[in-house]
Amino acid sequence: MLDPTALLTGAGPWVLGVVALMVFIESGLLFPFLPGDSLLFTVGLLHAQLGLSLPVLMLVVAAAAVGGDQAGYLLGRFVGKRWFRADARVLKLSYLDSAEEFFGRYGGRALVLARFVPIVRTYVPLAAGMAHYPYRRFVGWNVLGGVAWSVSITLLGVWLGHVEFIAKNIDILSVLIVAASVIPIALEIWRRRRKAAQPDPAPVGAEQD
C-alpha cells in the first residue's frame, strides 16, 4: 500500500494532478488497492502545507471521483466480464460478483453507499454498466456519491489538520492512515478465502451413509 504522505510531499508541483489521477483510477479503472480514503484525508490534512487552494482541491477530487465512476460504467457496459478470472489478483471474478450482488440489492443507491466501502466502490460502477442501468439515472447517483465521498473525506482531513496534537504528529498519523487503509482490504481478502475454503453444502435429499 502506498504511503499517502510520502506520495503527496514527493509530487512537487504535480501534486494536484497526482491526486486527481489516483482518485480517478481507484474509482473505476479496476485498481482497488490504491489509497483512496487515506489519500483524500491526507491531502485535506496537508493542503495548506502543499500550497493547494481548498476550493480548487474540492473541485478536482470531486471531478476525478465522478469521472472514474463514468469510466467504470463504460467498461462494464462494453467490456463486461471478459477481463475477469477466478484466480486473478486484481481482476478477480469474486470481487465483481460481490459488486453485482451489492448493486442488485440497493440499485442506484449502491453508487452512494459503495463509495465508503474500499474495493466494492471500484467494482460497483462496472456492475451498473454490465446491468445496463439507465445512464441518466447512473449519472445522478454517481455525482451524488462521488461528491459526497470525496468532499467529506477531504474536509475531515482539513478539520483534523487544525487539531494541534494531530498537526504536531503527522508522521504517526501517516502510519495509522496506512494501517487503516490496509485493514479493510486484508479483512475482505481473509473473508473471501475463508468462504472459498468452505465445502459446498450437500444437496437436499442426498443419501446419507
Q: Per residue of the chain (209 residues), give pLDDT as tens.
A: 567 888 888 888 999 999 999 999 988 777 656 777 888 988 998 898 889 999 999 999 999 999 999 998 998 888 776 666 666 565 666 666 777 777 777 778 888 888 887 777 888 888 888 878 889 999 999 999 999 999 998 998 898 877 776 656 555 655 565 555 556 555 655 665 676 566 655 554 544 44
Nearest to 39 by CA among 52, 26, 54: 26
Query: Do 153 and 40 form a contact (C-beta atoms < 8 A)?
Result: yes
Query: How many CA atoms lie less than 13 Å away from 153 in the CB half-sphere?
Result: 23
pLDDT of 209 reads 40
pLDDT of 123 reads 80
> What is the helix (H) or strand (E) element at residue 92, kind and residue range?
none
CA 17 from chain centre, in angstroms, equals 18
Nearest to 160 by CA among 173, 148, 147: 173
pLDDT of 67 reads 95
pLDDT of 77 reads 84
CB neighbour class for 144 (10 Å; exposed up to 12, middle 13-18, buried from 19): middle
pLDDT of 208 reads 45
CA distance 53 to 100: 38
Query: Do 86 and 49 form a contact (C-beta atoms < 8 A)?
Result: no
pLDDT of 182 reads 56
Residue 96 has what DSSP assignment? H
pLDDT of 35 reads 74
**199: amino acid identity, one letter:** P
First and final C-alpha spacing in the chain: 50
Residue with cell 459503495: 114
pLDDT of 125 reads 86
pTM, full prediction: 0.73
CA distance 151 to 62: 7
Query: Do 73 and 125 form a contact (C-beta atoms < 8 A)?
Result: yes
Backbone angles phi, psi at 88, to 5 degrees: -75, 160
pLDDT of 183 reads 60
